[in-house]
Amino acid sequence: MTQVTRDPAWAGRVFWTLAGLAVLWPALVLSEFKPWVLLGPDALKPALRFVGDFFPPRTDTEFLLLLARETWRTVAMATAGLTLALLLAVPLALLSVRVLSLSALAGSMAPVPAALRQLVRWVLMLLRSVPELVWALVFVRVVGLGPTSGVLAIALTYGGMLGKVYADILESSDTHATSSLMRNGSGRLQAFFYALLPQTAAELTSYTVYRWECAIRSSAVLGFVGAGGLGQLMDSSMKMFNGSEVASILLVFMALVWLADRMSAALRKALA
Amino acid sequence: MKIQLKGLSGCHPAAKPGTTPALRGVSLDVSAGEQLAVIGPSGAGKTTLLHLLACALKPASGSLLLDGQDPWQLSRSALQKQRGALFLAPQVPPLPPRQRVVTAVLAGRLPHEGLWASLRSLFYPVDIPRAEQALAGFDLAYKLFERVDRLSGGERQRVGLARALVSEASLLLVDEPLSALDPTRSEHAMQTLTQAARERGATLVATLHHVEMALAHFPRILGLRDGAVAFDLPASAVTPAHLQALYAQHLHELNGPAIAPDDAIPSAAEPVVMLCR
């Protein structure tokens, strides 16, 4: 190989790889990343015993009935939480969308509506920046142990997330149809229902179903702080090192996620 | 609706400050019920003129009076009400791809009905006969319940024009209505439009690439060049010399076929992939 045919990008590539590793190293140290402790004999044995317990999953009738009831409760929690979140997210998203501003049709937005939109964006940020686990801990103290606190926690956090993402989807869509309608004198909500919504319905639906899936998983975590559902069941099984029960619960989770995935695909197909 | 322009200038909304306005010092009087065709080479300011008339664009200078009233002096809600009396049909038909034709046409009636009536119309179209009649004027009645994204570019353009027919606007502003239509369809569409405007006494202002079509269907022709009025004459007084001067250096636009329309209607965007935390 002669000097001329050497790849000129080679030196840069090596440099950036080494630089990346150099940045990664302190991060690994800081996060106490020591995977080899997993393989130590006194760590490996109990872990393997626990995982070995996973098989066979527990399938007696009594447990399956309990599992079915708690699954239903988890789905209900996620659905109720998401419905409440929608009630919060839809009006906030519509308020914060610039595309539906009449004053922005010709020139820049008027100062009062602009300030209102910024305020709504901050509210959405506040709602979603507090993790649902924290909201759940707050509500467990207010309304006591049980699914209610889980539902409220999901409603608040997911309201913030959905509102922000809805607003982003609406903003980034093609606005030609919407602005044309508003230019011809229709109202903002009319323009939303006749132009912006049909333009974005598939994305909005797909994202909402995806969030429903997230809410199911999230309600499992919330169960650990006493908000009921599959999570609480899993918590007690874990505490008693009952691997076969944990395995059954995990299988139910997979089934739920698969179901949500199929549902979202079907809805997207129907709306495409 | 009566239009009076005095020294009107306007910039394209996306123009950088400091650039020359797309329309400079245009003065024009159009009486109620008149029909006016605006011709001129591309970049002459035809679309900007329509946008200014539609109150979609604020004039940079000069005055615009609609029925003797400056719309930009009105409050925001009154201006929006005034816009309901204007109808602007953009060159690219503003139709959401997943909407049905009947809904897309009836959307032209939104300014004249309340929110509840329009929501009910989404569940069951309130005024199917009106939509069908408007579409029939453009030979599209049989597409009433088709979806917009199943239509061809020319069909979409005609749906956009049918929307103008169902609105109750007293000023119709139509931007290049024929850019995606073949000659026979163009002829018919032009007849339907001018006749509809005549029947309801609405003022009609259309920009046209197709000069012969403009001369054949409009009594008055406004020639625009480089953002200024080149001539404003009755159609019978427009001579080939006028047209040669108007289209100098752009003769291919005068003689050649109409510029291919931008009928790339944005189709349904790919669903955004989003990850959970």
- pLDDT per position as a tens digit, A26-43: 888 888 888 887 777 777
- Any CB–CB contact under 8 A between A187 and chain B? yes
Sign of the C-alpha dihedral computed for residues A115, A117, A123 and A125 taken in this order: negative
If one counts every other C-beta atom within 10 angstroms of the C-beta of residue B171, the result is 22
Give the chain A residue whose CA is nearest to the CA of B58. Answer: A106
- Any CB–CB contact under 8 A between A133 and chain B? no
- In 3-state terms, what secondary structure has residue B88? strand
Residue A187, CB-side half-sphere exposure with 13 Å CA sphere: 11
Give the chain A residue whose CA is nearest to the CA of B273. Answer: A207
Q: Do the chains contact at A184 and B57, CB–CB below 8 Å? A: no
Task: Please list, in sequence order, all residues whose beta carbon lies within 8 angstroms of the beta carbon of residue A22, skipping any fewer than 6 positions away.
Answer: none
Closest CA to A155 of A133, A132, A138, A137: A132
Q: Do the chains contact at A181 and B110, CB–CB below 8 Å? A: yes
**CA B4 from centroid of its chain's CA atoms:** 19
Q: Do the chains contact at A203 and B271, CB–CB below 8 Å? A: yes
If one counts every other C-beta atom within 10 angstroms of the C-beta of residue A221, the result is 17
- Any CB–CB contact under 8 A between A135 and chain B? no
| Window 93-112 of B, Cβ < 8 Å to A | 94-99, 103, 107-108, 110-111
If one counts every other C-beta atom within 10 angstroms of the C-beta of residue A33, the result is 9
Please give, one letter per residue, the 3-state secondary structure of A47-97. Answer: HHHHHHHCCCCCCCHHHHHHHHHHHHHHHHHHHHHHHHHHHHHHHHHHHHC
Q: Do the chains contact at B55 and A169, CB–CB below 8 Å? A: no
Eight-class DSSP state of B271: P
> Least CB-CB distance to B94: which of A105, A180, A200?
A180
B57: left (phi over 0), alpha (psi -120 to 50) or beta: beta
Sign of the C-alpha dihedral computed for residues A172, B158, B204 and B255 taken in this order: positive
Q: Do the chains contact at B272 and A186, CB–CB below 8 Å? A: no
Q: What is the pTM of this model?
A: 0.81
Q: Per residue of chain B (277 residues), give pLDDT as tens.
A: 889 999 888 887 667 667 778 888 899 999 999 999 999 988 888 989 999 999 888 888 889 999 988 998 988 888 888 999 999 999 889 999 889 999 999 999 999 888 999 999 988 998 899 999 999 999 898 988 999 989 998 899 999 999 999 998 999 999 998 888 888 888 999 999 999 999 999 999 999 988 888 999 999 999 998 888 999 999 888 888 888 888 887 777 776 544 444 444 444 444 444 444 3
Give the chain B residue whose CA is nearest to the CA of A109. Answer: B76
ipTM of the complex: 0.84
User: Are the C-beta atoms of B49 and B23 separated by less than 8 Å?
Assistant: yes
d(CA A75, CA A223) in angstroms, rounded, equals 13
User: To the nearest whole number, what is the mean pLDDT of chain A?
Assistant: 87
d(CA A82, CA B65) in angstroms, rounded, equals 51
Largest CA distance in chain A: 77
Q: Do the chains contact at B122 and A187, CB–CB below 8 Å? A: no
Choose the mutation target among B99, B156, B163, B171 for the interface with A, i.e. most A CBs under 10 Å: B99
- Any CB–CB contact under 8 A between B58 and chain A? yes
